[in-house]
Amino acid sequence: MISCDEAAVISNKSQYKEASLSEKFKLKLHILFCGTCAVFSKKNKQLTSLMAKAKLCVMSDLDKKVLKQTIEEQL
Protein backbone atom coordinates (compact mmCIF):
# COMPACT_ATOMS: atom_id res chain seq x y z
CA MET A 1 0.00 0.00 0.00
CA ILE A 2 1.40 3.40 -0.98
CA SER A 3 1.22 6.51 1.20
CA CYS A 4 -0.97 9.54 0.50
CA ASP A 5 2.14 11.49 -0.53
CA GLU A 6 3.03 8.85 -3.11
CA ALA A 7 -0.56 8.78 -4.32
CA ALA A 8 -0.46 12.56 -4.83
CA VAL A 9 2.78 12.30 -6.81
CA ILE A 10 1.38 9.57 -9.07
CA SER A 11 -1.86 11.51 -9.46
CA ASN A 12 0.09 14.55 -10.65
CA LYS A 13 2.18 12.42 -12.98
CA SER A 14 -0.86 10.70 -14.48
CA GLN A 15 -2.29 14.12 -15.40
CA TYR A 16 0.64 14.49 -17.75
CA LYS A 17 0.53 10.84 -18.82
CA GLU A 18 3.90 10.21 -17.17
CA ALA A 19 2.71 7.57 -14.72
CA SER A 20 3.44 3.93 -15.51
CA LEU A 21 0.75 1.25 -15.56
CA SER A 22 1.84 -0.17 -12.21
CA GLU A 23 1.84 3.33 -10.70
CA LYS A 24 -1.69 3.97 -11.98
CA PHE A 25 -2.77 0.63 -10.55
CA LYS A 26 -1.28 1.50 -7.14
CA LEU A 27 -3.01 4.88 -7.25
CA LYS A 28 -6.39 3.34 -8.10
CA LEU A 29 -6.00 0.83 -5.28
CA HIS A 30 -5.09 3.61 -2.84
CA ILE A 31 -8.07 5.71 -3.90
CA LEU A 32 -10.38 2.77 -3.15
CA PHE A 33 -9.34 2.91 0.50
CA CYS A 34 -8.58 6.62 0.91
CA GLY A 35 -11.36 9.18 0.53
CA THR A 36 -8.97 12.13 0.84
CA CYS A 37 -6.94 11.06 -2.17
CA ALA A 38 -10.07 10.21 -4.15
CA VAL A 39 -11.22 13.83 -3.76
CA PHE A 40 -7.72 15.13 -4.49
CA SER A 41 -7.45 13.05 -7.65
CA LYS A 42 -10.86 14.21 -8.86
CA LYS A 43 -10.08 17.90 -8.23
CA ASN A 44 -6.68 17.48 -9.84
CA LYS A 45 -8.32 16.17 -13.02
CA GLN A 46 -10.78 19.07 -13.11
CA LEU A 47 -7.94 21.56 -12.60
CA THR A 48 -5.91 19.98 -15.38
CA SER A 49 -8.78 20.14 -17.86
CA LEU A 50 -9.37 23.80 -16.93
CA MET A 51 -5.70 24.54 -17.41
CA ALA A 52 -5.69 22.72 -20.73
CA LYS A 53 -8.56 24.93 -21.90
CA ALA A 54 -6.76 28.09 -20.72
CA LYS A 55 -3.58 26.93 -22.41
CA LEU A 56 -5.44 26.49 -25.71
CA CYS A 57 -6.55 30.14 -25.61
CA VAL A 58 -3.00 31.31 -24.90
CA MET A 59 -1.68 29.11 -27.67
CA SER A 60 -4.06 30.49 -30.26
CA ASP A 61 -3.11 34.08 -29.35
CA LEU A 62 0.54 33.17 -29.63
CA ASP A 63 -0.11 31.39 -32.92
CA LYS A 64 -1.72 34.56 -34.27
CA LYS A 65 1.34 36.60 -33.31
CA VAL A 66 3.71 34.10 -34.90
CA LEU A 67 1.56 33.96 -38.01
CA LYS A 68 1.47 37.78 -38.22
CA GLN A 69 5.25 37.97 -37.81
CA THR A 70 5.79 35.34 -40.47
CA ILE A 71 3.53 37.19 -42.90
CA GLU A 72 5.21 40.54 -42.20
CA GLU A 73 8.64 39.02 -42.71
CA GLN A 74 7.65 37.70 -46.10
CA LEU A 75 6.24 41.00 -47.36
Binding pattern for the stretch 29-48 against Zn ion, x by CB under 5 A and - elsewhere? -----x--x-----------
CA 28 to chain centroid, in Å, comes to 17
Least Cβ distance, residue 27 to Zn ion (angstroms): 9
Least Cβ distance, residue 25 to Zn ion (angstroms): 15
User: Which of the stretches 13-21, 27-35, 55-63, 64-72 binds Zn ion when contact is defined by CB under 5 A?
Assistant: 27-35
Q: Compare residues 9 and 34 and give the one whose CB is closer to Zn ion.
A: 34
Least Cβ distance, residue 2 to Zn ion (angstroms): 8
The full DSSP string for the chain is ---HHHHHHHHHHHHTT---HHHHHHHHHHHHH-HHHHHHHHHHHHHHHHHHHHHHHHHHHHHHHHHHHHHHHH-
